[in-house]
């Protein structure tokens, strides 16, 4: 069996009496799409925060491509190839969507050129190309705070993809998006990520999305992984149906 | 962009014309340009959502550098870069510590440090002559001693040239990735970190650049007024810079110069007309700007020009 791209072992983190991570063991294999499901407060976002250096676990270890990443700053982890998107899109609201994308491109290629314009031809072209792949070319000139939620989610993910990560952790990429738009957004981002060869872990509450797009599902419950496997098998499990999906659907 | 360039050219010509037509205004306009250069630094920090209530310390460092060194080296062309260098060095040292803080903490720590510098300048009488200040002897330009009238024109010319130079520099900087990332500190610092970018480093660069421009502004003020006092570092002087930044508007590199010119002119004429109430008039002007023209003088002018162009 090949080395996992991301490997978490025995992660523990408690906030007061609440165990957000209570012995998490998870291997994410290169090329797979892994969905994380579970009720609110189960520790899903905490796992993403620990994997990206935003939170430090009290115990356990995390390796990326065989190298330990625990204790590194978020920006150092990003540079190693782990990207993330946010439940609440983190866009630079004063700038246009194109400038947002160009800033992400710039941060990969060298932000530290104080006198050359951000929208220099090469970066503008790459940023536009990125936005086209996400179907956002029509709103390239709009201010980021003028977008609807679906477009903001995609722009947020596009900025993470601009950094050319090998692993992308997405926190609820479809939350707050109108039901009619949801499938289209996931289809778009899955297509882009597959084309780019990016491995993905995503937190999701919509079981239709999980069933259709995930290669594996990890079920989070009270800081532990309660079940892990292919969607058809995990989602059909009566215990998961009763204890997780029933709650998650109402979350 | 074209509007901005046009307004800059017209503004520079208007300043030259005023300085020529009303000789005593040369002094006022030179000080306005010098302060405008310092306020460019405030504008950079405003773009990052940060307000420094202590930036006058860099003006004071620039001004006192001139005062201390001028007796042995009275050359303007050496004093200016030296003042810029020392203010930049201080900006780097203070900045390394200050960029860890945001908002009210950033503003108040700047204020506290500037008051430390004010106190040092005031108390170390043997070196600084306390509140009496230091008078600056006649300076030379490229080795030539100049008559008073010529010297005034030279200082005005240097201030205008540096104002244009720093204005262009700041405009280019604000359009660059680092300049655009400043807004990220204001709105989405987390995203900057998750783009692999150190928000502190982005802010530090802006802070050091603002200290440099503060030092240059202070040196020009001291060379023009030929007298320095600790008042240069006092918190009201820092407040004045923030006042000018808001008055001029943060939307363009022209804003600080529009604000500084308006400020100095209102001050001169208001002080002449109603000697006891000029601060109140300035306060009233600021209140009106905040209430009715949040984009400052630049905002008013640019919308008028846009309206005409449409």
Least CB–CB distance from A114: residue in B173, B190, B198: B173
Handedness of CA B263, B268, B270, B271 (dihedral sign): positive
Please indicate, yes or no, if residue A160 is contained in any of the structural domains. no
Please indicate, yes or no, if residue B156 is contained in any of the structural domains. yes
Residue length, chain A?
A: 251
The CATH number for A225's domain is: 3.40.50.300
Interface test with A, best of B48, B178, B191, B204 (most A CBs within 10 A): B191
Please indicate, yes or no, if residue A212 is contained in any of the structural domains. yes
Least CB–CB distance from A111: residue in B177, B183, B191: B177
The answer to whether the beta carbons of residues B45 and B207 sit under 8 Å apart is yes
> Is B187's CB within 8 Å of A93's CB?
yes
A140 and A196 together in one domain: no
Alpha-carbon span A57 to A59, nearest angstrom: 5
Interface test with A, best of B171, B178, B180 (most A CBs within 10 A): B180
pLDDT at B306: 73
- Min Cα separation B236/chain A (Å): 31
What phi-psi label fits residue B249: left (phi over 0), alpha (psi between -120 and 50 degrees) or beta? left
- The ipTM is 0.83
Q: Is the pLDDT of residue B310 over 50?
A: no
Cβ within 8 Å of residue B46, ≥6 positions away: B245, B250
pLDDT at A62: 93
Calculate the CA A98 to chain-centre distance. 21
Cβ within 8 Å of residue A146, ≥6 positions away: none
> Is A95's CB within 8 Å of B180's CB?
yes
A115 and A239 together in one domain: no
pLDDT at B193: 87
Domain stops at, among A119, A146, A173: A146
- Its domain, for residue A197, covers 6-91+165-248
> Is A78's CB within 8 Å of B195's CB?
yes
Question: In chain A, which residues have their Cβ closer than 8 Å to the Cβ of B181?
Answer: 103, 111
- Min Cα separation A51/chain B (Å): 12
pTM, rounded to two decimals: 0.89
Q: For B194-213, what is each residue's pLDDT tens digit?
A: 888 899 999 999 999 999 99
Please indicate, yes or no, if residue A179 is contained in any of the structural domains. yes
Q: Could you tell me which of B221, B263, B258 has the C-alpha nearest to residue B63?
A: B221
Q: For B210-258, what is each residue's pLDDT tens digit?
A: 999 999 999 999 999 999 999 999 998 999 999 999 988 888 888 899 8
> Is A73's CB within 8 Å of B193's CB?
yes
The tally of domains found in chain B comes to: 1
A201 and A87 together in one domain: yes
Alpha-carbon span B16 to B30, nearest angstrom: 10
Least CB–CB distance from A75: residue in B173, B177, B193: B193
With H, G, I as helix, E, B as strand and everything else as coil, classify residue A62.
strand
Least CB–CB distance from A163: residue in B179, B190, B195: B195
Alpha-carbon span A33 to A243, nearest angstrom: 23
Chain A residue whose CA is closest to B170: A115
Alpha-carbon span B254 to B36, nearest angstrom: 9
A2 DSSP 8-state letter: P
Q: Which residues of chain A have pLDDT under 70?
A: 1, 246-251
CB neighbourhood size of A33 (10 A): 20
């Amino acid at each position: 069996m090949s080395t996992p791209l991301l490997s978490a072992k025995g992660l523990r983190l408690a906030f007061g009496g609440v165990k957000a991570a209570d012995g998490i063991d998870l291997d994410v294999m290169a090329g797979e799409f892994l969905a994380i499901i579970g009720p609110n407060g189960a520790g899903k976002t905490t796992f993403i925060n620990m994997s990206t250096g935003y939170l430090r676990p009290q115990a356990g270890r995390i390796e990326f491509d065989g190298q330990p990443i625990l204790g590194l700053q978020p920006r150092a982890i990003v540079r190693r190839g782990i990207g993330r998107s946010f439940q609440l899109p983190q866009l630079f609201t004063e700038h246009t969507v194109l400038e947002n994308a160009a800033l992400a491109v710039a941060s990969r290629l060298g932000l530290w050129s104080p006198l050359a314009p951000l929208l220099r031809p090469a970066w503008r072209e790459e940023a536009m190309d990125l936005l086209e792949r996400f179907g956002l070319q029509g709103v390239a000139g709009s201010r980021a705070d003028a977008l609807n939620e679906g477009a903001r989610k995609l722009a947020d993910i596009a900025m993470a993809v601009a950094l050319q990560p090998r692993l992308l952790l997405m926190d609820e990429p479809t939350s707050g998006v109108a039901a009619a738009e949801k499938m289209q957004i996931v289809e778009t981002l899955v297509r882009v990520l597959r084309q780019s060869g990016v491995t993905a872990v995503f937190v999701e509450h919509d079981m239709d999305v999980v069933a259709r797009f995930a290669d594996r599902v990890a079920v989070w419950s009270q800081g532990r992984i309660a079940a892990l496997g292919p969607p058809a098998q995990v989602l059909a499990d009566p215990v998961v149906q009763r204890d997780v999906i029933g709650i998650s659907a109402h979350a | 962009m074209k509007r901005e360039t046009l307004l800059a050219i017209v503004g520079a010509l208007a300043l030259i014309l005023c300085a020529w037509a009303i000789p005593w205004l040369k002094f006022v306009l030179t000080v306005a340009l010098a302060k405008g250069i310092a306020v460019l630094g405030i504008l950079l920090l405003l773009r990052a959502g940060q307000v420094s209530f202590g930036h006058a310390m860099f003006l004071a460092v620039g001004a006192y550098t001139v005062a201390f060194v001028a007796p042995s080296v009275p050359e303007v062309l050496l004093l200016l870069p030296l003042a810029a260098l020392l203010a930049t060095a201080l900006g780097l040292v203070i900045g390394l510590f200050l960029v860890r803080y945001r908002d009210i903490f950033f503003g108040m720590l700047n204020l506290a440090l500037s008051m430390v510098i004010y106190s040092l300048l005031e108390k170390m009488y043997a070196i600084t002559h306390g509140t009496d200040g230091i008078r600056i002897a006649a300076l030379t330009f490229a080795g030539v001693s100049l008559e008073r009238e010529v010297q005034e024109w030279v200082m005005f010319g240097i201030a205008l040239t540096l104002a244009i130079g720093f204005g262009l520099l700041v405009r280019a900087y604000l359009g660059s990735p680092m300049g655009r990332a400043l807004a990220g500190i204001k709105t989405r610092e987390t995203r900057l970190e998750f783009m692999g970018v150190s928000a502190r480093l982005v802010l530090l660069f802006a802070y050091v650049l603002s200290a440099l421009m503060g030092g240059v502004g202070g040196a020009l003020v001291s060379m023009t007024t030929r007298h320095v006092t600790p008042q240069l570092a006092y918190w009201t002087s820092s407040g004045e810079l923030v006042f000018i930044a808001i008055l001029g508007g943060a939307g363009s590199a022209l804003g600080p110069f529009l604000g500084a010119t308006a400020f100095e002119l209102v001050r001169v004429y208001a002080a002449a007309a109603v000697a006891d109430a000029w601060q109140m008039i300035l306060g009233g002007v600021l209140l009106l700007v905040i209430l009715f023209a949040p984009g400052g003088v630049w905002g008013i002018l640019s919308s008028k020009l846009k309206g005409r162009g449409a």
